[in-house]
Amino acid sequence: MNERNACVIGMQWGDEGKGKIIDLLSEDFDIVVRTQGGSNAGHTVVVDKEKFVLHLIPSGILREQVTCVIGNGVVVDPEQLTEEMAGLRERNIEIPGRLLISDRAQVVMPYHKALDGAKEKALGDRKIGTTLRGIGPAYTEKVARTGIRMCDLIDPQVCRARLETQIPLVNAVLQNVYSEPPVDAAKTIDWAIRCGSELKPMVADAALFINEAVRSGQTVLFEGAQGSLLDIDFGTYPYNTSSNSSVGGMITGSGLPPREMGRVIGVLKAYITRVGAGPFPTEQDDETGAELRKRGDEFGATTGRPRRCGWFDAVAARYSAMINGVDELAITKLDVLQGLDPLKICVAYEIDGRRVESFPAQAEQLAAAQPVYEEMPGWHGDTAQGESLADLCPEAVAYVRRLCDLTGAPAKVISIGSGRDQTLVG
């Protein structure tokens, strides 16, 4: 392991507050790399009371000394990226020379979004509740070897040739499978070539860049997107995203070998939320859930959808700690729990009358799981300030310690508000 590097991983269904943790840590890193997902992500960072929501550009862009990399494992929506860069420029964040896009990254085409919407519509009650950002279809085409990569997008001849082959196939699916209108081939090709010429100055061999940087002594922070329970292999299949949002995706999505990966920092919210469909054993579809949503401002940063809220699930947390090899935890939004008394923690599931302490593979099994709760006293004292965990009231300290014991990793950072200064050391 290269102790100088670090990986930040979401341990739940996304929205754990990774943006803030990455922003805090990136102060000490030279390079911040996104390795999977696309504009389905929404990383919120508050700097001096100013709120930034980033979808594709790594949160490290808010630190002047950081170079940001969009790795080969990411699916890049050129329009979203251009919009995001313009938004940052308006707020005086410099981009030139600080953002690099892997030439091997896949491109999200407008027809991927059309396919995403068409498929969700066709699934009806069984829909996944995707962000409709074209993520699933873009990864589907990557694996089917019919995707367009950044190196193709910036080469007009290759881009045209690939799209001339691909668009008729996509249109056949849109029209014949989903009874949806076809996309206009000529317009799509023109759009793609235009996007390619705009992004060309930033496209490079990112794997080479990162490896050379590490060899020369620079440090890398990996910015996870989504959460481990949304991972294509380890998540609540099929109610998950289409990339490896657990730590393995950071290797295949960057080109940096495993021995260079650093310590793994797992981000856990002090309760749990989920957006979209799928099983959620500790969901509180009642006043408790509504209260958590209100206090925690639990609305999707990408889609604005209300997030489903529930009690902390230690079975899921332990599972995430295992598959990611989590070395330390960053626990977020502890302040949101202030005043809720008692607090519940799910320590096991009961499935078909049996006690289960591991995370089931099948969504139907997880949907049948009854949470086995342990109760802890809540607290009424102020949890929105302090410098270290010990500054909080004993009930809050006990709650954090219990989450760590159940998850099997120590908490090094505890976040008690959105500001950079509202952070405690464990």
CB of 388 to ligand IMP, least distance (A): 30
89 Cα distance to chain centroid: 24
Segment interacting with ligand IMP (CB under 6 A) among 77-85, 152-160, 164-172, 235-243: 235-243
Nearer to ligand IMP, 196 or 279 (CB): 279
* Radius of gyration of the chain measured on its C-alpha atoms: 21
Active-site residue, 43 included: yes
Minimum distance, C-beta of residue 136 to ligand IMP, in the bound complex (Å): 5
DSSP codes of every residue in 4-18: T-EEEEE-SSS-SSH
Tell me which of 136, 196, 279, 289 binds ligand IMP, using CB under 6 A: 136
The torsion defined by the Cα of 72, 73, 79 and 84, in degrees rounded to 10, comes to -90
Indicate the residue among 29 and 239 with the shorter CB distance to ligand IMP.
239
H/E stretch holding 84 reads helix 78-90
Q: How do strand 343-351 and strand 328-332 relate by DSSP bridges?
A: unpaired
- Which residue number is nearest to ligand IMP in terms of Cβ? 276
Least distance from ligand IMP to the Cβ atom of residue 320, Å: 14
Angle between helices 135-144 and 110-123 (to 10 degrees): 110
Q: How far apart, in whole angstroms, are the C-alpha atoms of residue 361 and residue 353? A: 18
Is there a contact between 301 and 43 (Cβ–Cβ < 8 Å)? yes
Cβ 301 to ligand IMP shortest distance, Å: 8
Minimum distance, C-beta of residue 132 to ligand IMP, in the bound complex (Å): 7
Q: Which of 98, 104, 113, 133 binds ligand IMP (CB under 6 A)?
A: 133
Instruction: Give the x/- contact pattern for ligand IMP in 35-54, rule: CB under 6 A.
Output: -----xxx------------
d(CA 222, CA 47): 20
Q: Is 55 a catalytic residue?
A: no
Nearest to 323 by CA among 16, 12, 49, 111: 12
Q: Is 91 exposed, middle or buried (0-12, 13-18, 19+ CB in 10 A)?
A: exposed
Alpha-carbon span 84 to 91, nearest angstrom = 11
Amino acid at position 301, single letter:
A
Site for ligand IMP in 246-305 (CB under 6 A): 275-276
Distance between first and last Cα of the chain: 23
Identity of the residue, 122 or 186, whose beta carbon is nearer to ligand IMP in the bound complex: 122
Q: How far is the CB of 306 from ligand IMP (least distance, A)?
A: 12
Q: Please give the residues from 93 up to 132 whose contact with ligand IMP meets the rule CB under 6 A.
A: 128-131
Catalytic residue among 23, 43, 152, 313: 43
Q: Considering 15, 77, 313, 335, which one is annotated as catalytic? A: 15
Please say which residue, 17 or 262, places its beta carbon nearer to ligand IMP: 17
With contacts defined by CB under 6 A, how many residues of the chain interact with ligand IMP?
Answer: 21
Residues that bind ligand IMP (CB under 6 A): 13-15, 40-42, 128-131, 133, 135-136, 225-226, 230, 240-242, 275-276
Q: Which residues are catalytic?
A: 15, 43
